[in-house]
Amino acid sequence: MNPFKGVNFRHQDREFAELRRQLRQNRGSARRTLSPNQIRMAIRTGEMPPNAEVLIGTREDGTPFTIEDLTGFAQAQQRLAKQFGSAKGVPMDQLIASSRAIDVERANVEIRSARLYKIHGSTLTFSVTASGKYQAQFHQVKVRLEDWWRHLTDAGNVNRAMTQTLAGPVSFDCDCGRHQFWYRYVATVGGFAIQPYEKDFPKVRNPQLRGCCCKHVLKVFRTLKSPTVKTQLTQQMIRQAEQAGFAGDTRHQFMTRQDHQQLSRARVGELNQEKIRAELARQVNLALRRHVNKPANRNKINRARTKMTQQLTAQQKAHIKQELAFAQRYNLPANTVYQKFADELGMSAEAIQQQL
């Protein structure tokens, strides 16, 4: 059964917009949040702020936060920023591989379908079926393809351009609570968020900053891997490339009835997180081998290996020992002697020291 049968997507889009307006309003009146400045000040002074339990609340078990907690939060933020880097967006496979296994399982078991219903420039908007655990019947997920404009202007094969676009970095947002309370901060720090951004640390729900995608976003990512959806996006890219005016100066393009008929035929299987992780590891190893096997890099490695494995002659050893004895007599550092002969013989100072 088609879960989107009879859905008026324009009407649903207005409902999503109202829900997001309410969420933004509620977020503006939130209390006991932990701001970057509160963490910064606590670490700088080495003390928790006065009335900390009133200002920032308590742990999930009711005990107060400590300065060690806030220091750990800052370290988790730094690790996360380093993990995803400073580029705009992150490839879908990397996001899937970095997600919690429980979210991948829920995407496969609980979420029936995701339907692309609107596109505006490089931003795709999906309606995603809810799990049925709560009141919502659908959730809205937005995905921005960060390489869309670069490949739209590509004069080469448009199918290849779309393949590269989907393999490139993406940013996203979901209106569900899991994304809001667990992952919006992660997406903001990681550089793959779509507004609204989150600055306050998820101190209770996700203090270790584990995972990055809710089950609705993961279902959308799996849907984007469907050949049927790729074909539809290729057609949309061609339409945008033919339109007059600046790129992006277009109205929100809702999918037509014909588009939905095509999209309804998409066959979306389950996400295999382990397979994706294995493929990413294979790509990393392949890239490393290619880097090592470049002639310039291979020569550097050979020179370094020579420095570490070259053997000293008996005469060279005797000469170095004489210099070391002289240095010891006049309280000179031995390292200067090792480095002097390392430069003369084309070896490393560590290799010379190990052979004496």
pLDDT digits (tens, 9 = 90+) for 97-118: 999 999 999 999 999 999 999 9
- Ranges of the chain whose pLDDT falls below 70: 249, 292, 297-299, 301-309
Q: Which of 277, 287, 223 is nearest to 98 (CA)?
A: 277
The pLDDT of residue 324 is 83
* CA distance between the termini of the chain: 79
Q: Pull the structure tokens for residue 29.
A: 């009146």
- E strand intervals along the chain: 90-91, 114-120, 123-129, 138-145, 169-174, 253-254
Distance CA 81, CA 63 (A): 28
**Is this model's pTM higher than 0.85 or not?**
no
Contacts of 276 (CB under 8 A, 6+ apart): 93, 96, 97
Handedness of CA 35, 41, 47, 49 (dihedral sign): negative
Give the pair of three-digit tokens for residue 115.
Answer: 């339907």
**Count of CB atoms situated within 10 Å of the CB of 27:** 14
Check residue 170 and give its pLDDT.
97
DSSP state of 176: S
C-alpha distance from residue 153 to each of 113, 122, 161, 166, 196 (Å): 32, 13, 9, 15, 29
Angle between helices 215-224 and 227-242 (to 10 degrees): 80
What's the pLDDT score for residue 204? 92
The pLDDT value recorded for residue 193 is 97
pLDDT of residue 301: 66
